[in-house]
Amino acid sequence: MGRLFWKIFLAFWLALVVAAVSTGTVVWLQHGAADAAPKEFVAGPRGGMDMAAAMLRDDGVEALRGWMQHRRHPAPIYVVDEAGRDVLGRPVPEAARARAREIVRRRGESFRARSVVSPGGERYLLFAPPMPGMRLPPRPLLQPWQLIAIGLLTSLVFSAALAWYLARPIRSLRSAFDGVAAGRLETRVSPKIGSRRDEIADLGRDFDRMAGRLQSLIDAQRRLLHDVSHELRSPLARLHAAIGLARQDPQKLEPSFERIEREAARLDELVGEVLTLARLEGGTASGPEETVDLADLVADIAEDARFEAQAAGREVALDSAEQVLVRGRAELLHRAVENVVRNAVKHTLPGTTVEMKLSSAGGRALLGVVDRGPGIAPGEAERIFEPFYRGAAAPGGFGLGLAIAQRAVVAHGGTIRAENAEGGGLRVEIELPLAKVAEARA
């Protein structure tokens, strides 16, 4: 059961306990006061008064007189007619009689005094004055309706506090959802929720992560559109220039066609890389998953890169394990490794060697690619994996190769990082999880 359940449970339980304890305390105090009264007062006059009133009402004054003459209780009961005479002829305490008449007038019947009509139609006043040393029970502190009101008020206070405690962050969440729906992606709800530690706070933090992710994706999309439009503008401008030259001088058609062909190929490459990047960022990369021997894949890429590098006076050296099996999409893995290696070949200095090393350890495949180029400036280790970012030391290209490699590696559960190598150049390290035994046999 969650923490929110216990908060609700304990709050309601506490409200009931407080109300019950308050009511029980008052009742206990009243009963304690009643218990402190002499037993003769509690048991004697009340029971005797009821019996005397019933006998007088049903059997008449003679029967009552006989019963009272044989009664042995120390608490006396006086039965006085309208003339003020007691039926047993005893002297009547005038103060007690006046008090009894006042009680009857105000309350009607009481265990201390009441008015009864005999079968003969005479009216008698029955009362039991307190005996010397006997004290009356105190008046109840609270009436029953007051006790009920206290219980209801207590429950109302606790329930209102609980409702406010639960409703306040929910209202904040609702306001935050409305803000995001209105396009205010910078909206966050954690500052309003505060230091809560329950499911509502978890929901608020999840909302903030969602809003942050949406904001980063929208911002990345905007940057991508801006960068793509900027990158497309240059080849399109050169295409227009080549077409203009061809129209002005028909003798230059062949050079113009060659320029148009190069720019069209450049545009095709740019569009292809943008589409690949979009699929990777959207999680819709094509191709089935399979077991890939990374050693064979890296060897093929090294061979192709070596052919390209030798034409520019560079070399590519590979130190690879015999077999390194990973699980993933072969095309994407090939694209990721190829982009890293081609980037290294492009930036390593003439007469130097791009070093590649593939190994495995701790359930991970490790591929390191080191060039001997200018390296990267401080603070660029993360930025070189951003789309369309080109470092100060390497302004050429589209700036998409390493971005595609990074997203392809992450899509396969791996990591990629870059740092300046000892002795100059750039080191790029790729880690990928090895295929499990069952997956490798599939």
Catalytic residues: 230
Report the 10 Å Cβ neighbour count for 208.
17
Among the residues of 109-186, which ranges form H helices? 144-181
Could you give the count of Cα atoms lying within 13 Å of 362 in the half-sphere of its Cβ? 3
Q: What is the 3-state secondary structure (H, E, C) of 310-350?
A: HCCCCEEEEEECCCCEEEECHHHHHHHHHHHHHHHHHHCCC
Report the 10 Å Cβ neighbour count for 411.
18
Helix axes 330-347 and 401-411, enclosed angle (nearest 10): 140
Q: What is the DSSP string of 15-46?
A: HHHHHHHHHHHHHHHHHHHHHHS-HHHHHHHH
Distance between CA atoms of residues 86 and 77, nearest Å:
10
Distance between CA atoms of residues 333 and 433, nearest Å:
13
Which amino acid appears at position 120 of this protein? G
